[in-house]
Structure 1
């Protein structure tokens, strides 16, 4: 497994805005969109491109690149939806799937409650989740893809921030790749990433200070 930590100054500037608890929801959403674009661009650059010759207005047979394979963006519900607009903005032809995973309150283990994934031969799957924390949800997602017949080398996990514990848990998938803006220090006793940015889903969806009703149809 290869981990790409994108630590350029612009990424760190955007990350600082996401970490700052004083930032309003508008600022958080803008920074999330921009950082997602940067990371998804890095993920797309890891894919295999082919050479192609084109004619420009002033010269013929100029060598460029083209990409002719399918890409599936797979946000993990709900927080992963925050990264989907940036993904589509970066690659308009991308297919979209969805996976929903919740934690069983008795066993504390992740459980699948929704799955809708386009299966494309030799396609590339870019999983979107702003935080890679314990790695339980990420591991189940990758396992579901592999069980569907998708090659692990065609899977890229994109997260805004990651915890060492989550990366370690994903490491037994030897051929996948991770793209993240920061490998943070650790998880606290509640499973939050430190220094982290809080609950990315709540902050993006603006549900931190209101009651939220949850139902999974069971």
Structure 2
């Protein structure tokens, strides 16, 4: 149904996601679980990075060893909740360049409103991985990807913790060239645009705000 969607069904990912869904999970534990699960998701979203080789010396001999090719990739966080995924991914890919897209959702229209945009240079020569825990209506995510394309990005992937069918459909319609990687495809959105069963507001749970 969604050819651009990959669901990471690894047992560790699913177990940690269940712990995150539980309403009694504390802010500190939620934040730690998000950091851990982001590294597991990062493994999947970077699976097809281009490679080359270079000559190195091991303690025993010379060899041509595999290394990443091209410019360092860019991690683009959709503020503020995207920073929870960003932190864990940077532990795995510390040399990545980092950008930020500030969007908030107008609660009346559910449409995104931009308030900040700062991204690395030469996006056209980098893989850009956009991170946001929730792909709900898909409006903010689609808008963020459009901004990146306007800034020159050509190779974009979207990484989220949870997705709703409505959000995946919106992204597929707006950006069929952008793969979406997630830990779960939930049932639907409620009338306020929240994912069901979901885990609540990821930003509030991560930062302890209401």
TM-score between the two structures when normalised by the length of structure 2: 0.92
Partner of 1:18: 20
Partner of 2:150: 147
> Compared with structure 1, are the counterparts of its residues 103 and 63 closer, same or farther at alpha carbon in structure 2 (3 Å cutoff)?
closer
Between the aligned partners of 1:32 and 1:127, the Cα distance in structure 2 is: 16
2:134 counterpart (131, 147, 166): 131
Q: 54-63 vs 87-96, which deviates more?
A: 54-63
Misfit runs of 4+, over 2 Å: 51-55, 62-68, 103-108
Partner of 1:212: none
> Compared with structure 1, are the counterparts of its residues 106 and 167 closer, same or farther at alpha carbon in structure 2 (3 Å cutoff)?
closer
RMSD in angstroms over aligned alpha carbons? 1.6
Partner of 1:101: 103
Contact 2:8 2:181 in 1 (8 A): yes
Partner of 2:191: 189
1:112-123 equivalences under 5 Å are 112-120=114-122, 121-123=124-126
Contact 2:53 2:64 in 1 (8 A): no
> Compared with structure 1, are the counterparts of its residues 162 and 118 closer, same or farther at alpha carbon in structure 2 (3 Å cutoff)?
same
Offset of residue 188 of structure 1 = 1.2
Q: Are 1:7 and 2:15 counterparts?
A: no
Between the aligned partners of 2:78 and 2:158, the Cα distance in structure 1 is: 11
Partner of 2:45: 43
Output one character per residue of 1:48-78: Cα deviation in whole Å (capped at 9) or x when no partner.
2223343321232154233332211111111
TM-score between the two structures when normalised by the length of structure 1: 0.88
Gaps (5+ residues) in structure 2?
Answer: none
Query: SS of 2:130's equivalent?
Result: strand
Offset of residue 99 of structure 1 = 0.7
Q: How many residues align?
A: 206
